[in-house]
Chain A
Amino acid sequence: MAAPPHPMAAQKGARYERTKPIVLAIFLLPAAILLAVFMIYPVIYTLRLSIDRGLGGNFTRVVGLDNYINLLKDPTFIQAIVNNLLWIVFYTGFVIALGLVIAVVAMRVRYETIIKAIVFVPMAIAATALAVIWTFVYQPDPGIGLLNAVLGIFHGPAPSWLGDSSIVNAALITVGIWGSTGFATVILSAALKGIPTEILEAARTDGANDFQIFYRIIVPMVSLPISVLAVTLMVNVIKLFDIPYVMTHGGPGTASRVIAFQMYIQGFQAGQFGQAAAVAVVMLIIMVPIMVFNIRRFRTSSVT
């Protein structure tokens, strides 16, 4: 005769086995309804709208894939995608790199909190206000623009930061980096605190120098927070709208347009909501691989 099962085991088994489908349904329903109403339905609606003329936001005439073909033929849209790629690479890269460096360096000094507070302050400013402030900073006239006033002291050139197609994207990305570095610093700083000091001490005893510790120990040990951060930043940047809208309105010409800005122009300025929906679908398609990577990453790390 087998021994009676351990009471704890019975309890544990019961928790999974005896849950009736109806109970499951009741618990899942609220979340499922919310998801269906606010996620699934809008996605289906947008997909449907993207194959329609969609004038004024109504279904006016089915046009098949015309909206998508128009997008591919539109040099402005291609430029917007390229600009978004620039944002993804440089914004995400610099925010994480700067955030990590500041977090590591700040940890080693006594006034860590002060440094982190200073870096974090831009996070407390609304993105639109941030953009307005930087528009003033970038004013070409040194009488108004802080940056050119400072350059003027060193008799440097006075570039038109937002009026020069070749530097406008760099100028805007800098604003984005300035606004988000604090976020990365705080997250990574918390992750660094989680690294057991024994490991660092062991490495030091084994004769590792600061750079080796940074590259061989710190970076690998915070790689999960870094990848989470990267995904968050990338998703933020794919839907980026406020900074180019406020600072340049996508200009000069079409030099600083981004995908979300194109969506706004097509939908709300031109009234072509079908075309705008197609842009939204393209944005979704770009985001999917990033999200899939994120979910995979979480699954693997929860196993190990």
Chain B
Amino acid sequence: MNRSLRVLSLFMASALALAACSSGGATTAPSAAESAAASSAASEAPASAAAGATITVTSLWGGSEQEAFQKVLDAFKTATGITATYQAQRTDYATVLQSKITGGNPPDIAIMPGLGFLRQFARSGGIKKISDLGIDPASLTANYPPGILDTGMVDGELYGIMVKFNSKSTVWYRPDVFTKDNVSVPNTWDDFKKALDSLKTAGESTPLALGAKDSWTLTDWFEEIYLRQNGADAYKKLFSPDGDWTDPTVSATINAMKEVLNDTYVPGGIKGALGASFTDGIAQAFSASPKAVVYYEGGFVGGIATGQTNTALKPGETIDWFDFPTFANGAGTGAAEIGGDEIAALTTNPGVKEFIQYMTTADAGTVWAGTGAIISPVKAVDASAYPTDLAKKEAAQVAGATAVVYDGSDTLPAASPDMGAMLQNAIQGQDLTGLLKTFNDGVKAAWAGEK
């Protein structure tokens, strides 16, 4: 009797501690009870203050990307004794995360794509400031190249830290076909167009693959050209509340897109491309029976093409990439665009601080980079950590860039009109003035609405 009472009280105490943790997750300030519970629970643990704790980390990776990230979680467990469980949310990532936050049951940590979502969740109080975790943001600056930490700032406070990225300034091509058709790798936009013409003359009837059903491939095209034509400062301004989408530079960029994204070069014409997904586009260029030679998309194309589309591809021989072409008098020559994911804390449960801190270290970056799945933004990750030449080259491109900018469409407010849909309409030949005016009004309203 006495004994069972004791068991019961122990049970109730732990239930109380649990309740303290979960309610702490729903409110903004970390409660004292919670940290007390954390320290008492960890009093016997040698390795770390929160050893033995279990936290959940959610992101949208599955398959090989998930396996790669699991290696980082395993290394974290070895280093700290904290178990981090991964929850994949492949589709409707932000939707589900929003529901979990609204429902008061968020995962501990989210790695989120897109700065618009980070801002949205930060402002709605869903995610914690890095400083709320007891991590001094100033102590992190030395770990990263300039500009990387800025991407995680919302209203002057650090909410997210970039943990991985890919270059978006890579144009993928088939070197063997270039050699066969006597076409050299283009440096400038004019050379690029000439190269497409030469390929066409040499019998490649549709040299430029395009998977525009996934409209983000079009936003990447837009961003690359806008960056190259107008430079990093103008680019950042366009994707900020001060951006003006009715500016002539915007229509100039869309017109440049249409110089190559048209029925002359694209398999199936623009209509065909609008029915083809991003991976269909990869297959157009790199499958065993390819229809195209060149495909523009980010650094992640390499892994998908060699790992899934066609395992017979040989990097450097049948698949490689060159820098996105530059524009004459373009202010953005040498700049690079990246798309990356930001880690953010949704609770202050024990182990969360440790995990976020771990993800800023070279150890985590090296483990992750070694899987070949990602490029790490952590400065101390050595080039030798990357397993393939394609990844080494990608890391070097960004490291050597004159300016690094973040994926613009991922920076726009979540409530903006769909930029990809606007571009899908534009490449079908709809009137640009009207499209851009509507889009500009919508983006302005969305920025104003974020305040």
Kindly name the residue among A57, A249, A269 whose own CB sees the greatest number of chain B CB atoms within 10 A.
A269
Identify which of A24-32, A94-102, A160-168, A279-287 touches chain B.
Answer: A160-168
B376 at the interface (CB under 8 A from A): no
* Contact B271 A141, beta carbon cutoff 8 Å: no
How close is A71's CB to chain B, nearest CB, in angstroms? Answer: 13
Closest to A167 in B: B271
In whole angstroms, how far apart are the Cα atoms of A161 and B94 in the complex? 30
* Contact A250 B421, beta carbon cutoff 8 Å: yes
Identify which of A4-12, A116-124, A213-221, A251-259 touches chain B.
Answer: A251-259
- A253-B430, A272-B415 known; A160+B102 contact, CB < 8 A: no
In whole angstroms, how far apart are the Cα atoms of A113 and B347 in the complex? 59
B302 at the interface (CB under 8 A from A): no
Cβ–Cβ < 8 Å partners of B168 in chain A:
none
How close is B175's CB to chain A, nearest CB, in angstroms? Answer: 24
In whole angstroms, how far apart are the Cα atoms of A139 and B438 in the complex? 31
Interface positions, chain A 137-180, Cβ under 8 Å from B, are: 138-141, 143, 158-165
Interface size classification for chain A? 20 to 34
In whole angstroms, how far apart are the Cα atoms of A222 and B395 in the complex? 70
B118 at the interface (CB under 8 A from A): no
Cβ–Cβ < 8 Å partners of B275 in chain A:
138-140, 160-164, 252
* Contact B418 A160, beta carbon cutoff 8 Å: no
- A140-B268, A160-B275 known; A252+B422 contact, CB < 8 A: no
* Contact A56 B124, beta carbon cutoff 8 Å: yes
* Contact B415 A254, beta carbon cutoff 8 Å: no
* Contact A271 B98, beta carbon cutoff 8 Å: yes
Per DSSP, chain B at the interface is helix
B299 at the interface (CB under 8 A from A): no
Cβ–Cβ < 8 Å partners of A158 in chain B:
268
- A75 contact from B273, B418, B438, Cβ within 8 A: B438
* Contact B120 A271, beta carbon cutoff 8 Å: yes
Per DSSP, chain A at the interface is loop
In whole angstroms, how far apart are the Cα atoms of A139 and B271 in the complex? 12
Closest to A265 in B: B418
How close is B92's CB to chain A, nearest CB, in angstroms? Answer: 7
In whole angstroms, how far apart are the Cα atoms of A70 and B273 in the complex? 32
* Contact A56 B102, beta carbon cutoff 8 Å: yes
Cβ–Cβ < 8 Å partners of B430 in chain A:
253
Cβ–Cβ < 8 Å partners of B289 in chain A:
143
A129 at the interface (CB under 8 A from B): no
Kindly name the residue among A251, A253, A270 whose own CB sees the greatest number of chain B CB atoms within 10 A.
A253
Kindly name the residue among B95, B418, B422 whose own CB sees the greatest number of chain A CB atoms within 10 A.
B418
B272 at the interface (CB under 8 A from A): yes
B38 at the interface (CB under 8 A from A): no
The proximity string for B residues 232-276 relative to A, scoring 1 for CB distances below 8 Å and 0 otherwise, is: 000000000000000000000000000000000000111111111
Cβ–Cβ < 8 Å partners of A53 in chain B:
449
* Contact A159 B422, beta carbon cutoff 8 Å: no
30 contacts between A and B (CB under 8 A): A55-B124, A56-B102, A58-B124, A70-B445, A75-B438, A76-B417, A140-B275, A141-B280, A160-B268, A160-B273, A160-B275, A160-B276, A162-B275, A163-B213, A163-B270, A163-B274, A164-B275, A251-B424, A252-B275, A252-B421, A252-B424, A253-B422, A253-B428, A265-B418, A269-B414, A270-B414, A270-B415, A270-B446, A271-B98, A271-B120
Other than the given A253-B422, A268-B95, A269-B414, 12 more pairs (CB < 8 A) read: A56-B102, A139-B280, A160-B273, A162-B274, A163-B274, A164-B271, A251-B215, A252-B274, A252-B425, A252-B428, A265-B418, A270-B446
Closest 4 CB pairs of A and B: A163-B275, A163-B274, A253-B425, A160-B275
